[in-house]
C-alpha cells in the first residue's frame, strides 16, 4: 500500500509499516507547515493513502468532498506507542483489504470503514 503519513504520525509507526513492506512517506521527513488541503492534494497527486490523527480531514473529505485516494484516521488517544502498533497489527489485514477508496477510522475498541464517494 502507498501511504503518506502526516507529521502527527509517530516515527515508530512509520518504521513499523515500512518493516511490514508498506511504501510510506513521512511528511515529518521533509518541509513542514503544509495546510491540510495541500497535504491532501500531495497524497492524491502521488496516489497515496493519507494516514493522520487529525480529524479535520473528515470534514474536508466527507463533507467538502475533496478528492482523495483514501484516509486512515488514527483515533488512539492515550495509547502508548507499543499499544498503537499492537492495535495497528490487529486491524491491518482489514485496513489493507479496504484501501484504497475508503475513509477508515481506527479507534481503541473499534474500526469504522466508510467508502469515499469521490476517490481518486
The whole-number average pLDDT for the span 75-88 is 92
HSE at residue 56, side-chain half, CA atoms within 13 A, is: 8
In tens, the pLDDT along 85-116 reads: 999 999 999 999 887 888 899 999 999 998 88
Q: For residues 50 and 29, what is the distance between their CA atoms, to the nearest angstrom?
A: 15
Taking each helix axis from N to C terminus, what angle separates 11-19 and 81-98, rounded to the nearest 10 degrees?
A: 50
Q: For residues 18 and 23, what is the distance between their CA atoms, to the nearest angstrom?
A: 7
Most confident of 34-38, 73-77, 81-85: 81-85
Is residue 64's pLDDT more than 70?
A: no
The whole-number average pLDDT for the span 43-59 is 87
pLDDT number for residue 4: 93
The whole-number average pLDDT for the span 21-44 is 84
User: Among 77, 75, 89, 119, which Cα is nearest to 101's?
Assistant: 119
Sheet holding 2-5, edge to edge: 23-26, 2-5, 49-52, 71-75, 102-107, 111-115
Q: What is the pTM of this model?
A: 0.88
Strands 23-26 and 2-5: parallel
Amino acid at each position: 500500500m502507498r501511504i503518506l503519513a502526516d507529521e502527527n504520525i509517530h516515527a515508530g509507526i512509520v518504521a513499523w509499516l515500512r518493516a511490514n513492506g508498506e511504501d510510506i512517506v513521512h511528511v515529518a521527513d521533509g518541509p513542514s507547515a503544509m495546510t491540510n488541503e495541500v497535504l491532501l492534494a500531495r497524497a492524491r497527486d502521488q496516489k497515496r493513502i493519507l494516514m493522520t490523527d487529525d480529524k479535520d480531514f473528515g470534514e474536508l473529505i466527507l463533507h467538502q468532498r475533496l478528492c482523495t485516494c483514501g484516509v486512515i484516521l488514527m483515533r488512539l488517544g492515550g495509547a502508548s506507542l507499543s499499544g498503537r502498533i499492537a492495535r495497528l497489527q490487529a486491524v491491518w489485514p482489514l485496513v489493507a483489504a479496504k484501501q484504497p477508496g475508503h475513509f477508515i477510522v481506527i479507534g481503541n475498541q473499534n474500526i469504522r470503514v466508510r467508502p469515499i464517494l469521490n476517490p481518486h
